[in-house]
């Protein structure tokens, strides 16, 4: 059974950094795309960044230049390095993974727009940024 487990969340002051990790357990198919999402209280879940099997990436405008998504294929692990954190980055961060339904679709885009009812999702890790 596939499980997706996030870790690395915590509380930091504005301007600080955190690195989130996401371990995908139960499968080792590197053809899957992976993505980070976040949801703040009272707001809708939003995509933060996604990475395809060829390591191509896409980012939300709000995090470009501050966050970096990467993956370790040998460890089947996804990372999100977050620098210059702002109070508005405070949210529950979720990891998700799936496989694009056909080869014509770029996996990064597929995972970036993944609905919560599709693919495999973790339980989330909380990030709190204080001013």
Would you list the DSSP string of the chain?
--EEEEE--EEEETT--EEEEEEEES---TT-EEEEEEE-TTS--EEEEEE-TT--EEE-TTTTTTEEEEEETTTTEEEEEE-S--GGG-EEEEEEEE--SSTTS-HHHHHHT--TTSSEE---EEEEEE-
Predicted pLDDT at 81: 98
Cα 22 to the center of its chain, rounded Å: 8
Over residues 21-72, the pLDDT tens digits come to: 999 988 767 788 999 999 999 999 999 999 999 999 999 999 999 999 999 9
Confidence of residue 124 (pLDDT cuts 50, 70, 90): very high
How much is the mean pLDDT over the chain?
94
Mean pLDDT of 97-107: 85
What band does 102 get if pLDDT is binned at 50, 70 and 90? confident
């Amino acid at each position: 059974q596939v499980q997706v487990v996030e870790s690395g969340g915590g509380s930091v002051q504005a301007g600080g950094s955190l690195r989130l990790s996401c371990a995908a357990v139960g499968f080792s198919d590197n053809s899957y795309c992976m993505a980070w999402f976040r949801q703040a209280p009272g707001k809708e879940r939003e995509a933060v960044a996604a990475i395809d099997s060829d390591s191509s990436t896409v980012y939300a405008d709000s995090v470009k230049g501050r966050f970096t998504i990467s993956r370790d294929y040998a460890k089947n692990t996804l990372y999100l390095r977050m620098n210059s954190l702002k109070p508005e980055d405070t949210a529950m961060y979720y990891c998700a993974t799936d496989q694009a339904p056909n080869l014509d679709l770029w996996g990064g885009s597929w995972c970036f727009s993944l609905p919560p009812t599709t693919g495999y999702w973790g339980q989330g890790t909380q990030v709190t940024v204080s001013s």
